[in-house]
Amino acid sequence: MTLILFIMIYVIQIREETQTKIDLPAEGEKSDVITITGKKENVEKAKEMIQKIQNELVICSIYNKCKSLRELIFYIQ
């Protein structure tokens, strides 16, 4: 499983869990804006979950903590 596929699966899980619509930038697009729509409290929860993934990816890349996708999944959970 590639990192991008993992992120897409996680985004689908967040959509289902929070009952929100999450729009990611298209591949190759220069924008990094993620749009989340839904009930305010659900949007906030989805935003927190996405930020957690982003933070863990940064930590893994800066500190070389994650040697594999399995380790990344562990850090995110």
Residues 6+ apart with CB under 8 A from 68: none
Number of domains in the chain: 1
Q: What is the CATH number of the domain that holds 29?
A: 3.30.1370
Helix and strand element counts for the chain (H, E): 3, 2
Of 64 and 16, the structure prediction assigns the larger pLDDT to: 16
Residues 6+ apart with CB under 8 A from 75: 56, 59, 60, 65, 66
For the cut 70, the answer to whether the pLDDT of residue 1 exceeds it is: no
Type of residue numbered 52: K
Mean of pLDDT values over 3-32 = 84
The pTM of this model reads 0.71
At residue 35, the pLDDT reads: 93
Domain span holding position 37:
3-76
Q: What is the pLDDT of residues 44-57, one digit of tens each?
A: 999 999 888 877 77
Per DSSP, which regions of the chain are E strands? 21-23, 35-37
